[in-house]
A and B are shown apart, each in its own frame.
Chain A
Amino acid sequence: MKFLCVRCDEPMAFEKAEGPEEGSLAVTFACARCGARFALLTNPWETQLVRTLGVRIGGRRVPPEPMELVRGTLVQQRDPEPAPADVRAAAPVWTAEASQRLERVPEFVRPMARQAIERYATEQGYREITVRVVDEARARYMP
């Protein structure tokens, strides 16, 4: 799908994607020449179709996690295999505020978000995941 600014006859560029909220994505495009902007609002079926393709509107900034789509979408799943004791001991601890912040992430992407934030925290050497660490990770993965 491509968008054209009819006034300028110029292709419009992706600006940002928000959601999904209540099954709808809001994707904003802008014309680089005249600055006109418009938002594409998807209905739940369109949102789901995009999701099932395993692609990201606006492009991917980080490679997908292994089995990202299946694990993020399968409603009933086995608990993952417990991590080895040494790995678990080294895993950063979530503060209550940071956990509450994570609860605001849509449920179907929450496991991936948790994993990405924990990985970021581990890479940075943080032992505790605070709201600040969540914001840092968000800036890294979703600038």
Chain B
Amino acid sequence: MAGLGNGKETKMKRYREIVGDGGSAVLAQVQEQRARVESRLARVRHVVAVASGKGGVGKSVVVANLAASLTQQGRRVGVLDGDLNGPAIARMLGVGHQTLRVERDHAAPAIGPLGIKVVSMALLLPRDDTPVIWEAPTQDDAYVWRGTMEASAAREFLADVEWGELDYLFIDLPPGAERLPHLAGLLAGRVRGAVVTIPSQVSRMIVAKAVVLARTAGIDMFGEVENMAGYVCPRCGAVGDLFPGDDAEAAATSLGLPSLGTIPFDPRIALCADRGDPFIAVYPDTAAAEAFAAVASRLDALLEACG
């Protein structure tokens, strides 16, 4: 007995001496959430998180076209848009008009071109210009809980979407690196990571932080894609430099990653993304489409070798 005021006070129990939490079983609820994620992804062979460090490097376009390339190579592919506040994948893969279908015990992904499965916050928002606002007793000091809410929303997408059999589930992360530790916690040992950069020192400097953070969190980072690596002349097809910089292999080596390849800049990539058509399907004979296919093949070979 701890007692108060009886002259025989002893040290009261401490947190770790008390079993349970009085009935809420919060830890068990959190473990159950994680078990749901694990169970839902049991039929997905490779979960690949794609990060960029800085925004504007074309990560989502790369993800969309890698998904399309792998699908063309016979792989079953899904894409989860991890950028809740700036969802772009649904538009790029032509499913922006679809609505996330929620059934009794799961949510069903939208089916895009070539059979790519897509889930994005965009499938829930009423208009393209609708921002993500979470209902709350007060929006004051939203920074206190907004990050937690976004992490929980990402967890719910992973736990509740029924992807079925997939060879690849790409998670298109928002710019920055803060989502990586959360993913590692949810998908311990299941998720591998790749990064997208452009031939710019600033881009590489920032993406290096994402690589270090991901490794610290225990994510196996397996490759780097360099986007906008040269410009394809629309008249003659020659590829010229767009940014000065080291070659991609050297850049990847400096990150301690294998280079998965380079993608030249082609303005038609952006046009196709705006229309919701996979560039590699519309312009299959271009240098950029061939580059996407080569990156997809390298990624596939690397991950198949990992098992």
User: Which A residues contact B (CB, under 8 angstroms)?
Assistant: 1-4, 6-9, 11-14, 20, 22-24, 29, 44-45, 47-49, 51-60, 65-81, 107-108, 119
Chain B binding site: helix, strand, loop or mixed by DSSP?
Answer: loop
CB distance A2 to B124 under 8 Å? no
CB distance A76 to B29 under 8 Å? no
Given A6-B2, A74-B132, A107-B135, 12 extra CB contacts under 8 A: A9-B2, A11-B19, A13-B22, A23-B138, A48-B144, A52-B148, A52-B149, A57-B24, A60-B29, A66-B107, A74-B134, A75-B133
CB distance B153 to A69 under 8 Å? yes
Question: B125 touches which one: A14, A69, A76 (CB < 8 A)?
Answer: A76
**Can you name the residue of chain B whose Cβ is closest to the Cβ of A8?**
B1
A74-B12 Cα distance, complex, nearest whole Å? 43
Chain A residues, Cβ within 8 Å of B99: 78-81
Residues of B204-252 at the interface with A, using a CB-CB cut-off of 8 Å, are none
> Shortest beta-carbon distance, B38 to chain A, in Å?
15
Residues of B123-165 at the interface with A, using a CB-CB cut-off of 8 Å, are 123-126, 130, 132-138, 141, 144-145, 148-149, 152-153, 155-157, 160
CB distance B156 to A2 under 8 Å? no
B285 within 8 A of A: no
Question: A76 touches which one: B10, B32, B126 (CB < 8 A)?
Answer: B126
B30 within 8 A of A: yes
Question: B102 touches which one: A49, A51, A67 (CB < 8 A)?
Answer: A67
CB distance B25 to A59 under 8 Å? yes
Considering residues A2, A3, A8, A49, which has the most beta carbons from chain B within 10 angstroms of its beta carbon?
A2
CB distance A53 to B21 under 8 Å? no
